[in-house]
Amino acid sequence: MQGIKPAKTNADANQLLSELAVHALLHLQFRRLATPSLYSRQESNDILQKWLKPKLKSNRYKLIKKPLKAITQQAKGESGDLEALLERCVGAESAPVQPHLDSYLLLINEIEKKLGTTVLLSRAEDVDLSHDENGCLLCVLTQNLNDHFGSNNEMRSPISMLFRGPMSQRALFLGAIYANNTFTYSVGYQDEQFVRITLELA
């Protein structure tokens, strides 16, 4: 799996997203000045969506394609407010919001490195509890990981995970989740060998 991108890349993405947001908002303001009637929120959304659409295909904005697509998707529907979302991007100091699936994969990669093991994927009833008897077992209890994430890689439902191993390894496993800004966990079962948790958004 790929590592986290350097801070400079994130800074460049922030600046590019901020500049694009300013240009989009200026475009909307110029349209308002040229029209005597007031635009509804939906009309403003449509104007901004139409202006932003070709930017999603432009190589110039390749660096911010994911966050830009996420923003335009969030604004769809009657309650969406693309103008407000773009205003938040202007001068934003934090990195563009990372899709939940990307954050999950980075977390799993971190846990695998700390434990020196490979995370398995299996239905709860099919888990081989004797797997790697001299090491530890960590299994995501699902038949299909995609069932837990939506089309924009947002987390739609919690994920159950089963761990077997010594307390020192268990502490590393749970500590990695505890230190994560995107996810949290609740313990469903634990004994001297096993702990079963539910991973969900913080």
What Å distances lie between residue 117 and 45, 136, 163, CA to CA? 47, 7, 11
* pLDDT of amino acid 3: 43
Q: For residue 180, what pLDDT is reported?
A: 86
Residue ranges in the chain modelled with pLDDT below 70: 1-10, 77-79, 91-98
For residue 1, the model assigns a pLDDT of 40
Report field, pTM of the whole predicted structure over 0.75: no
Distance CA 126, CA 140 (A): 11
Task: Give the span between the Cα atoms of 26 and 169, in whole angstroms.
Answer: 53
Query: Residue 9: phi, psi to the nearest 5?
Result: -65, -40
- pLDDT given for residue 177 in this prediction: 92
Question: Taking the domains of the chain in order of start, what are their residue ranges?
Answer: 7-89, 100-201
**Distances from the Cα of 151 to the Cαs of 16, 49, 154, in angstroms?**
25, 19, 7
Residues forming beta bridges with residue 121, ordered by sequence position: 140
Amino acid identity for residue 32 in this structure: R
**Joined tokens for residue 61:** 């904005």
Residue 77 pLDDT: 63
